[in-house]
Amino acid sequence: MEEIDQKLEEDHPNAIDHSDNDIDDDDTQRDVEDDEGEEENASENEEEGEGEKDTVEDEDQFRFCDGVNPLDFIHDNNSSIQLYQKLEELEYEAKANKKRKATQQCLLEDGISGVSPADMMELMNFGQGRRSKKRSKKRGRQRGSKKKIDENISRMLGDANIHYANRRYEMAIAVLREVVKLEPNLPESYHTLGLVYSALGESEKEMGFYMIAAHLTPKDSSHWKKLFVWSIEQGDIGQANYCISKAIKADPKDINLRSHHAMLYAESQDYQKAAEVYEQIYQLWRENIDALKAAAKFYQKCGQVERSICILEEHLKSKPDGVNASVVDLLGAFLMEIKAHDRALQYIEQSQVVGKELPLNLKVKAGICHLHLGNMEMAQVHCMHISN
């Protein structure tokens, strides 16, 4: 943990720096995508008042259901289940419900031979209570469309910000609590509550509200990064891992995030995951030799020496004119570990640049390889070079 904390101090004067590397995510963080039916035209939505503020609403993002009071999650200190776990469960249930509805819609539209739509609906709803067979029109907006914020809500948010700016924190909290009751899925209110509780020095509540704001704006990595740093400071590895995974999904080009994720796995002695993440970093940024070597070392720690050898050999084959001596040295060590001295010697000899001597560590390995292969004269020559 000390290594991660030190790295965070270097990389994060304000949470975590963004990487400037222009690389594409190779879909290393895979999530199950939900197949959803298209929503009806936005013109079928309820009429909206003038002078209202716009916010972008994504059909797939986290939402609190009717009857759920988000403030209860913050003030429930007696539960053994952490806040992020509760929100994760709600998120999972929402996605499952969307997929179930999409399946129902697909079956109703396509039809199945010999089965009426009414019978199909009854079958799909079995065990969940009888529902009305009359299908109401699907309301809502198309993915990525704008949702209007009620003018009164917008005014209340403005009042809360003024109270916060003037250090009238209790008044700001009172207004924002009312906003949450009226519009529980508005991320701005939770973000401002986080700021208020930060000013009051109540870090647990501050991060609780930031956690809710992060779930309501999952594509904004700034909240997830802040929550990750705070989780590390608190020594909460489970929450830290959850937050950094979300941050990577929101900002897949940030190599620093992936590096911290790998370090987190290494600190937790999950060497398999650490190796996989370091290999992902190398695949995204081929010039990062340190990530390649770290991946190879952690695979070796897991007993997967052949995997270590494979990724190092692939790298050397892709760089025939610019061999990195440290990669050859590491590959040679792994090949010698499995008694493949002939292959180790081959890579060492291929790495020698014309007119230049091998580095001392490669000379030693070459001598040992010749010795094991029975080339006593060559082994003696290397020994003499080493002595000199």
Domain boundary among 218, 246, 270: 218
352, 364 contact by CB (below 8 A): no
Indicate if 72 and 206 belong to the same structural domain: yes
Residues 204, 349, single domain; the answer is: no
pLDDT at 10: 53
- Shared domain check, 184 and 67: yes
Show the tokens assigned to 250. 């929101």
Grouping H, G, I as helix, E, B as strand and the rest as coil, residue 41 is: coil
Structural domain of 157: 59-123+141-218
Q: Is 69 helix (H, G, I), strand (E, B) or coil?
A: coil
The answer to the question of residue 32 being in a domain is no
Instruction: Give per-10-residue mean pLDDT for the chain (388 aa).
Output: 57 41 41 40 42 48 80 74 87 75 68 57 53 43 59 95 97 96 95 97 94 94 95 93 96 94 95 97 94 98 96 91 89 96 94 83 92 89 71
Domain final residue pick, 188, 218, 248: 218
Residues 68 and 183 in one domain: yes
Q: Name the phi and psi angles at 147, rounded to 5.
A: -115, 135
> Greatest CA span in the chain, whole angstroms?
92
**Long-range Cβ contacts of 89-92 (<8 Å, 24+ apart):** 90/62, 90/64, 90/65, 91/62, 91/215
191 CB burial (10 A radius; 0-12, 13-18, 19+): buried
Whole-number Å distance between alpha carbons of 65 and 91:
10
Domain boundary among the residues 185, 218, 251 is at: 218
Residue type, 127: G
The answer to whether residues 64 and 203 belong to one domain is yes
Total domains in the chain come to 2
Tell whether 26 is covered by a domain. Answer: no
Residue 376 resides in a domain = yes
Q: What phi and psi, each to the nearest 5 degrees, are found at residue 20?
A: -95, 5
**DSSP class per residue in 105-156:** HHHHHH-BTTB-HHHHHHHHTTTS----SSPPPPPS--TT-EEEEPHHHHHH
CA 351/CA 71 separation, integer angstroms: 63
**pLDDT value of position 381:** 80
For residues 67 and 186, state if they share a domain.
yes
**Domain annotation covers residue 287:** no
> What single string gives the DSSP state of each residue in 323-354?
--HHHHHHHHHHHHHTT-HHHHHHHHHHHPPT
Tell me, yes or no, whether 371 lies in a domain.
Answer: yes
**Does residue 197 sit in the same domain as residue 334?**
no
Specify if 333 maps to a domain: yes
Rounded to 5°, the CA angle 137-141-146 comes to: 155
Residues near 291 by beta carbon (within 8 Å), at least 6 away in sequence: 259, 262, 278, 279, 281, 282, 285
Q: Is residue 23 part of a domain?
A: no
Residues 214 and 327 in one domain: no
Q: What is the pTM of this model?
A: 0.69
> How deeply is 277 buried, as exposed, middle or buried, from its count of CB atoms within 10 A (0-12, 13-18, 19+)?
buried
Residues 189 and 333 in one domain: no
The predicted pLDDT at position 4 comes to 62
Residue 9 located in a structural domain: no
Helix spans in the chain (H): 2-11, 70-75, 83-110, 117-124, 151-165, 169-182, 187-199, 203-216, 221-234, 237-250, 255-267, 271-284, 289-301, 305-318, 325-337, 341-351, 360-372, 376-387
Q: In this structure, what are the phi and psi dihedrals at residue 55, rounded to the nearest 5 degrees?
A: -135, 150
Give the CATH number of the domain where residue 204 resides. 1.25.40.10
User: What does the alpha-carbon distance between residue 75 and residue 65 come to, in Å, rounded to a whole number?
Assistant: 19
